[in-house]
Structure 1
Amino acid sequence: MKYTQLGRTGLKVSRLTLGTMNFGPQTDEADSHAIMDAALNAGINFFDTANVYGWGENKGRTEEIIGSWFARGGGRRDKVVLATKVYASMAADGAPPWPNHDLLSAVNIRRSVEASLRRLQTDHIDVYQFHHIDRNTPFEEIWQAIDVLVRQGKILYAGSSNFPGYKIAQANETARRLGSYGLVSEQCLYNLAERRAEMEVVPAAREYGLGVIPWSPLHGGLLGGVLKKQADGGRRTEGRAAEALADGAVRARIQAYEDLLDEHGLAPGEVALAWLLTRPGVTGPIVGPRTAEQLASALRAVDLDLTAELRASLDDIFPGPGPSPEAFAW
């Protein structure tokens, strides 16, 4: 495994981030533990989760599975850089949230940290992330709450997820004014098929020293050889990938992508991950394996060198928008 610094911090994290969203809904506890063991044995030390994972009536279940894995000992907790998130209501889907039991008020941040610590069976969270922007809570309040938790040793760093560039700037300028450390990472939707983050989010993250952690690096399976799998009678395409393939132009690009990689004898999913590892500012994409085989495929991407010629061909198929303001102005 290869490692890098998380943004401007001294914290070393693996170039792949283990995403745990499938633990519980898709992968049972025993298999989830096996995947985490395999990831740790392969050198992945950066694990990402969120308080709402488990979904529906089982919100919090994913954190509980990670907590039971930590409880098995063997130095598991000490070896892991643990990231979780706060924002959404933990009430069952369809139930209205009780006031102050969601978003980023100081009250909910404090309550949510304590609940996550209990589920995770740990005394601290390494990177505590805001899952979305809260338009009604000022960053002065957010940083006051975060600084208290840092002093208490319950969290070490703060990160963001799904923030636009201007909110990254606003958050860290406020932190600078208050003497707080500010955001150290940004999780964003970023992959070959979805490159809008290159316009504002990635430049803002680089300017303020945030490590970029792309989520959905295969765009819901779209970049994982979906057309070949369809032809071979594989798993039914759904969600983000199915919606995208309904567009004929997108389908043509995916076909060109798969044909290109077939010519080079390369696996589409591994190339999609390897491409992200070449992008400026990227710490490491989040991989969310449901099985040990999917984890093994992701690991191969770390050592996959993409030639300049291949990267240029990928840009031809999936051209990025370019930086702003040139992307939308003269």
Structure 2
Amino acid sequence: MTERLKPVDLTKIKTYSVADRPTKVDFSLLAKVPNIHRPLSDFFDTLPNLLKARELLLAARRIAEARLKGRGVIFMMGAHVVKCGLGPIIIRMMEDQLLTCVAINGAAAIHDFELACFGHTSEDVEKGLETGMFGMVKETADRINKAVTDGVKVGCGLGESVARGLRHWLPRYESISILANAHRLGIPLTMHVALGTDTVHQHPTCDGEAYGKGAMRDFRLLAAAIATLHDGGVVINCGSAVILPEVFLKALTVARNLGNPVRNFTAINMDMIQHYRPMQNVVLRPTRTGGTAITLTGHHEIMVPLLYAAVRSHLREYL
């Protein structure tokens, strides 16, 4: 008879210090917030009113109009948005009150956390995988997992738990952290994970029960934020191919089930290629009975600053 399979013992894993890990993203490489002057505004005025240029300008106009009307603007983002150095742009968008809610996946939280604490992030996956040391940095896992455990105990969701834990440690590079600055500004930041998909889940400090409770709270919080999209709001999915599109679809269903119409909003998907799930779950299905669907294809490190600058250009007469 085949011997029954036993779970691995995570207490026996080997970890190492973040100081010993080579990384590919350093704080000095992040984007600089553009200073919007007339010449840049003139640039957007010169774009052709055709194809994707028209969609870019439409997306910017809808975001600007949403905030002027007091409607919600939800920015959902995957890890590559952080790794591409866009934290300062997202933070400025929050400071400019262009975003009313930010939703991230677990990997985005990890990279943002490491940039804030250590000033660098993004390891060589292939090299680490070969030796069994991929994702085995001790400091990152211990701190994030403790933040989740402590925060969930006092009623926080995952996003708020990690953000408050991060601010508690007074990280050297807090100014470039999306998590920390959303918490500072009082902007809801939800974090959505699937257990086993993030490196911090590999460690014995990971409490699956705490993650489950925190993720459920953030799912409910996102559903509440989605209710603010009705009649003029905007949802942007940037660089999440699976987790956030799936969570968004279910949270939208919950919001509508509870009596919120949530129609006539603009759904935007931004990525280097257009994947099936974001296209269906964020852009097409939710807007089929009313709303606007926009897809912007390109590299995040170019497209996100461009979109932000275009929004500011539309708002220049109000700011």
TM-score bracket, shorter-length normalisation: 0.3 to 0.5
TM-score (norm. length: structure 2): 0.34
TM-score (norm 1): 0.34
Q: Which has the higher contact order (CA 8 A, sep 6+)?
A: 2
